[in-house]
Structure 1
Amino acid sequence: MNARRWTAGLLATVAAVALSACSAKNAEETCATSGGIVECAPDQRSAPPKLAGELLTGGDHDVARDRGQVVVVNFWGSWCNPCRAEADDLEATYQQTKGTGVTFLGINVQDNRDKAKAFERGFGITYPSLFDPGSKLALALDIPPNTIPATLVLDREGRIAAVIRAAVTREGLQPIVERIAAESPAPTGER
């Protein structure tokens, strides 16, 4: 590759990253932030993010198929001690809320597939996880998680309603999930 093409490619990459960071900062600035939790009111939420890929156990999943449900998305790794600490609370919240139109999806990052599967078996995780060793899905979000673990709560339209940039507890997560699940969906055409 010649120097001119390399420089042009580098400049294009820098511009894309800068624009992405700018739009993420703008999206986050319109939302309320407190104690590592970003919550966006329905009229402040941006378009649904694309979260799709290969499941840890095989097959594919696209979160767009979950529209109409609240989706709790947890970014985790088997190497992460806070992820271990929150695993039981995530599963308990999933079990408590799944009958109310709420589903969960894990996104395993920077990990080895076998270690990640062993982590899920060891903690009795029953909801699916996408396998994203390069953390590409997090980088594409308007409001990035910025930490591992991190948890997003998507509203019934698939938009980011909350981002929690720390390990969660059932007592902290469940009220947020229930509050978002209780929101009325926007009438068609008001997105």
Structure 2
Amino acid sequence: MRLRAGLAVLFLAATLTACTGKEDACDTSSTGSIECSADERPAAPSLSGELLEGGRYELSQDRGQVVVVNFWGSWCAPCRAEIDDLEQVYQATKDQGVRFLGINVRDDRDKAKAFHNGKVTYPSVLDPSSKLALDFDIPPNTIPATIVLDRKGRIAVVIREAVQAAEFEKVVARVAAEAT
């Protein structure tokens, strides 16, 4: 019986270690965020989807730009709290080659549009099944969550909590200032 229990613990430990993957190569010392050094960054998936206002978005169209991807839902109180901060950082950094993309999860189109319209000027993709987050090597795991991709299309930062403009703008500006 002890042998089985010991083997089960070993199997569980090995499984959990294997599941962390790319996240292990990144700095998780900061509460709620993960930062990856330039030589350890995993590639972002080939993200695409239907925009709230119609049309399609392809991440490949923004190659060479820093892309901030924010996962949100109209039902999420922290998402409502951070929306003005995100728009503020977008306005402050867009001239530095920074693009923002919202990914709305677990909403229908009407609720998402009602929340999004008039609050932000950047586009959002509708993802009611929340499948797009699963494609990331370092998944966002929470709502809200924000992923900053560098100009090479790699995951530089993952923030698993609501952002605040003053601190978040520094993070985005730092990634935007990196040499390509």
TM over 0.5: yes
Of 116, 124, 129, the residue aligned with 2:124 is 129
Matching residue of 1:70 = 66
Q: Indicate how the Cα distance of structure 1 residues 110 and 98 shifts in structure 2: closer, same or farther if over 3 A, else same.
A: same
User: Which of 72, 83, 90 does residue 87 from structure 1 map onto?
Assistant: 83
State how far apart, in whole Å, the 2-side matches of 1:41 and 1:114 are: 39
2:162 matched to 1:184?
no
Secondary structure, in 3 states, of the residue corresponding to 2:125? strand
Q: What CA distance in whole angstroms lies between the structure 2 residues aligned with 1:150 and 1:168?
A: 8
Cα deviation digits, residues 78-122 of structure 1 (max 9, x gap): 000000000000000000000001010000000011011010124
Shift of 1:126: 0.5
List gaps (5 residues or longer) in structure 1.
1-18, 186-191
Secondary structure at the counterpart of residue 89 of structure 1:
helix
Counterpart residue identity of residue 59, structure 1: G
Alignment of 1:1-191 (within 5 A): 25-33=20-28, 34-122=30-118, 124-185=119-180
Q: 1:155 and 1:40 mapped to 2: Cα distance?
A: 10
- How far residue 23 of structure 1 moved from its aligned partner, in angstroms, is 6.3
Provide the C-alpha distance between the structure 1 equivalents of 2:128 and 2:138, rounded to a whole number of angstroms. 20
* Letter paired with 1:62: E
Q: CA deviation at 1:49?
A: 1.4
Q: How many residues align?
A: 165
Q: CA deviation at 1:140?
A: 1.1
TM-score normalised by the chain length of structure 1: 0.83
Point out where structure 2 has 5 or more consecutive residues left out of the alignment.
Answer: 1-14
- Do the aligned partners of 1:148 and 1:165 also contact (CA within 8 Å) in 2? yes
Q: CA deviation at 1:46?
A: 1.5
C-alpha distance in structure 1 between counterparts of 2:100 and 2:34, whole Å:
19
Distance in 1, matches of 2:48 and 2:96, equals 23
Separation of aligned partners in 2, 1:172 and 1:113: 31
Paired-residue identity, %: 62
Q: How many angstroms does 1:167 deviate by?
A: 0.4
2: CA distance, partners of 1:102 / 1:130: 17
